[in-house]
Each structure stands twice: as C-alpha cells, then as structure tokens.
Amino acid sequence: MPKRLLPLLFLTLTPLRLWAWGMEGHRAVAQIAEQHLSAGARHEIATLLGTETLTMISTWPDEIRYYPGFKGTAPWHYVNTPAGLNQAQYLQALHGQKEANAYQILQIKLCELEDAASTPAERTAALKFVVHLVGDAHQPLHAGHAEDKGGNDVRVKFRGKDTNLHSLWDSGLLEYQGLSYTEMAGKYSQLPRRQRREWQQTPMDQWFWESYQASEQLYRDTPAGADLDYTYYPAHAQLMQQRIQQAGIRLAQLLNETLG
C-alpha cells in the first residue's frame, strides 16, 4: 500500500468518538456561521482560505492530529474538570488549568488570527482551529468529567448497539436524526435577532460553563450501563440543536469581531 494512503486508512478506522459533533455537526456549525458573517470578515476569510470554505475546513484539526507534528494537539479539543462543581468553582477550575485545553487554545488561536505579524500560513491554521474549537466548546461532553474522560468511559447501549456517552453525543444522535450538514444549517440557522444577540453577548468562558451544566444533566440521564431506546433522542434533541445553533452564531460573531 502506498505510504501516502496510510493516514487516510487510519482516519477511516478511527472510532467516531474522536470527532466532536462528528463531521456533519462541525460542518453544520461552520455553515451556520457563514450565513451570519460581515462583508469584511467574509473577504478576509476568502483571502486566507482561497478555494476552501469554513464548512470544509471545520474538521481539519481532527484530521491532522494523527500526523507526527500534531499528535500533541488532542488535549486542545476539550476541557475536563471534576464532577459536581458550581459556577464559581467551575470557572475557577477553567481559568486555573495549566495544561493545554480548548479554552486556552481557542484564545491563543484567536490572537494568532488577529495578529498582523503572523504569517498567512499561521493565520490560516489559526482560523481552522478557531472554527473547530468553537464547535468543540459547545459539545457538552467536551466539558465533561475528568474522572471518566468526558464520558468516554461511560459505556451504554443506544438502540441495542454498544457505545459510550461521549460517542453518543459526538455522532450517535446526529446520525440518528438523519440530516446532512446543509439540512441542519438550513433548519437551525433561522433565529430571531434578539436570540442571536443574547447568545453573542455571552462571554467565552460561559460557553464552557453551559456545556458543563448540560453534561451534568446528561450524566444523570445516561448512567453507565443504560440501555437507551428511541425515546432518548426526542428527549435531548432540543439541547443538541441549541448547542449547534449557539456554536454557529457565536463563531460568526467571533470572526466578525476578529476579522471584520
């Protein structure tokens, strides 16, 4: 087999739990954001990406982390903290973490994207990380418990198939609803202006607190060993949709402020 095909084969065989929101979810977030960009941000993004789009580069940080130069980026995609924290305790833990995590890296990549001293290649890579990490920040289990690796160790069944809580929220529910990313973006992007403004005014650290709060409820709803049936999706579909909507709307605002 040609060596150049090995990374692609590895990606094909990699469990879906490594893809926050799955490919379809990340692309839906990016496509929602594309619909709410300012003219200035849209022009700057086109300059950086050329023939690529936000939608198509939204999964790049997942795709490249299996290559030698990017193996250390896996912790960049999540923030795990202990269970049972109140808001003040959570924010203290979030701000106090010394290890690289999604909250820290998102801020670093925003600075690189905005910095005129960064090379075009550096700014392009930073843009790709920003697009992806905003999506990660809104997946509840990417702000899950450290003790179970963000739900990866919580084994459950969904419609008779073995999975885990993290994988279920990365891809399982998205696959179950049966929508493509373009269908999701079209369905999810129509929001009242008042709602968009409210979400856009929320500070970044609160995005992670929202995900942590959601994950706390999901741990209660989805205990280890649970055999989940068809009722699980309708009970949680609204949360899944809202987190994707919030990610797309907030991503657009972030890019408009940084590039517009």
Asked if residue 68 is part of any domain, the answer here is yes
Distance in angstroms (rounded) separating the CA atoms of residues 49 and 2: 29
Q: What pLDDT score was predicted for residue 4? A: 39
Distance in angstroms (rounded) separating the CA atoms of residues 245 and 92: 27
Asked if residue 7 is part of any domain, the answer here is no
Asked if residue 43 is part of any domain, the answer here is yes
Number of domains forming the structure of the chain: 1
Residues of the chain below pLDDT 50: 1-18
* 215 close to 141: Cβ distance less than 8 angstroms: yes
Asked if residue 159 is part of any domain, the answer here is yes
* 130 close to 58: Cβ distance less than 8 angstroms: no
Nearest to 231 by CA among 244, 241, 222, 220: 222
pLDDT tens for 151-183 read: 999 999 999 999 999 999 999 999 999 999 999
pLDDT tens for 169-218 read: 999 999 999 999 999 999 998 899 999 999 999 999 999 999 999 999 99
Model confidence pTM above 0.85: yes
Q: What's the half-sphere exposure (Cβ side, CA atoms, 13 Å) at 174?
A: 29
Asked if residue 40 is part of any domain, the answer here is yes
